[in-house]
Amino acid sequence: MNQVVVHPERCVGCMQCMLACATAHSRNGTLFGATLERPQPKPRIHVGAGRFNEGFPNRCRHCQPAPCQSACLAGAINRIASTGTVMINLDRCINCASCAMACPYGVIRFHEDPFGPPNRPIAVKCDNCSNRVVKGLIPACVEVCKAGALTWEAVDDAMRRKNREVARAMTGEADCPNVPAGVALLKFIKRAELELNER
């Protein structure tokens, strides 16, 4: 079972994933068409600024158990057993934002959605691109990310590699974390600039 794995240390903050995500969740399906659509399709992955202004891609982790699911006042959140994806039922959601309180990552947004009920905001979050995956495609954010910050892989492999990277970072081995040289430099500069400003 593949999942999207986020490698924040590789993110360059280009926000291509946000555009790809919004496009993938539009009725039109192309970037240009999506910009003209009403209601406006919006991304479900959010690149925010980290502590040192570095890019930080944030999306639903499809937690198990999912705190939003037990907090949902309308029974609108459930998990698809076969894929592990946590889904919000567009028809049942009452836009109460109880899930925003429950989500420890702050990844749920509230607005009208091209596929949602007309003129009624609802809770919107990552659905693991379920509609693409059934067609044999990979999630749009992964497809577009050229920095390797988002990957689509079996959770066990990904987790193992991730743990190795973190472990190496802790022991301070020279070759880690495994980030391309250019990215590391970019992050270093951003961090230095910020620290200078805050002095």
Ligand X SMILES: Cc1cc2nc3c(=O)[nH]c(=O)nc-3n(C[C@H](O)[C@H](O)[C@H](O)COP(=O)(O)OP(=O)(O)OC[C@H]3O[C@@H](n4cnc5c(N)ncnc54)[C@H](O)[C@@H]3O)c2cc1C
Stretch 15-54: interaction string toward ligand X, x if CB under 6 A: ----------------------------------------
Structure tokens at 127: 């659905």
Burial of 110-137, coded b for 16+ CB within 10 Å and e otherwise, reads eebbbebeeeebbbbbbbbbeebbeeee
Residue placing its CB nearer to ligand SF4 in the complex, 7 or 125:
125
CA distance 194 to 199: 9
Cβ(103)–Cβ(20) below 8 Å: no
8 binds, among ligand SF4, other proteins, ligand X, none (CB under 5 to 8 A by kind): other proteins
| Interaction site with other proteins (CB under 8 A) | 8, 46, 48-51, 56, 58, 67, 70-71, 73-75, 92, 94-106, 108-110
Q: How far is the CB of 96 from other proteins (least distance, A)?
A: 7
Q: Which residues bind ligand X (CB under 6 A)?
A: 73, 98
